[in-house]
Amino acid sequence: MDINFEILPLVSLKHIVVASHESFCKNLVDYFRQAALVPAVMIIMLFLTGKIADFKRFIPIAIGLSLVLLIGFSFLNPDFVQERIDSFVGRWNASPPYSFIQEQFDFAMRTQKGFLGQGLGSGTNSTRIFGKVSLIETYHPKLLFEMGFPGLIAFMIFVSHLCFLTFKIYRGLKDECLKSFASGFWVFLLIIAYFPYWYPLDTDPVCVYYWLFAGVLLKLPVIDKEEQIKLKAQKAAEDALKKRVKTKRRNPSAI
């Protein structure tokens, strides 16, 4: 069999281009499938952070995002998009997230040995070097497994009070810049505290950011007070300067 080595590179290049195109389309569909959640998340964030009143600032972002989604989907094969949608629906039906969370709670309640659970660390993956542990992949069932219902209820009361306290602090700030940061930090605390899927408070760096932002929020009233004192001093200095300028204009010194 004779092989034409002159066209071999072209054939290989064709396979590479086709494979790259298929890989690119799959990645692009996955990207847009995730990006489709962005508008909904942005709207929720606008309400939670109180920035819905400044919605005009977000109109250019919304227009740009819509154009990107429209242009991106216009280059895709509709059959391929439908295939990915069917795949997503099939995976959802095979293992619904709510069913997974329910199974985790059922396992935690089924294996209770006492009033206070199995003990701290018995359901935490990072403590497996100290002995046998159970792998529980959601945070609140893990708390139930380790500390029982008293521990889970106590923790939920604690984080709920923390969210309520930080919300009051964030709403009471006067400096707009600090208030913008505080709104984002508070939404982060709220989501992580009640997030039913995964175990973010056991995972770096989310667990570090959670307590860091909580501490920052609790400290913000002091920073806000200092900023207000600086602004008052600056305003007093500007008023005094304007007063001196007016006095000099009314009583010009003789030359």
> What does the H/E/C string look like for 75-116?
CCCHHHHHHHHHHHHHHHHHCCHHHHHHHHHHHHHHCCCCCC
166: confidence class by pLDDT, cuts 50, 70, 90: very high
Report the candidate in 77, 99, 76, 80 with the shortest Cα–Cα distance to residue 88.
Answer: 80
Task: Indicate if the pLDDT at residue 154 is higher than 80.
Answer: yes
On the CB side of 56, how many CA atoms lie within 13 Å of its CA? 0
Highest mean pLDDT among 91-95, 103-107, 156-160, 182-186: 156-160
What local confidence, expressed as pLDDT, does residue 168 receive? 92
Q: Give dist(CA 243, CA 227) in Å, integer.
A: 24
CA terminus-to-terminus distance, the chain? 110
Q: Give dist(CA 156, CA 195) in Å, integer.
A: 12
Average pLDDT over the chain, rounded to an integer: 75
- Residue 131 DSSP class: S
The full set of domain ranges for the chain reads: 9-94, 96-239
Residues 34, 39, 43, 46, Cα dihedral to 10° = 90
What local confidence, expressed as pLDDT, does residue 221 receive? 92
Report the candidate in 92, 98, 104 with the shortest Cα–Cα distance to residue 199.
Answer: 104
129: confidence class by pLDDT, cuts 50, 70, 90: confident
Contact predicate 164/186, CB 8 Å: no
What local confidence, expressed as pLDDT, does residue 49 receive? 65
Contact predicate 84/25, CB 8 Å: no
Conformation bin of residue 198: beta by default, left when phi > 0, alpha when psi is -120 to 50: left
The overall longest dimension of the chain from CA atoms, in Å, is 111
Q: Give dist(CA 218, CA 213) in Å, integer.
A: 9
Q: What is the pLDDT of residues 4-38, one digit of tens each?
A: 444 434 444 344 334 444 444 444 444 444 445 55
100: confidence class by pLDDT, cuts 50, 70, 90: confident
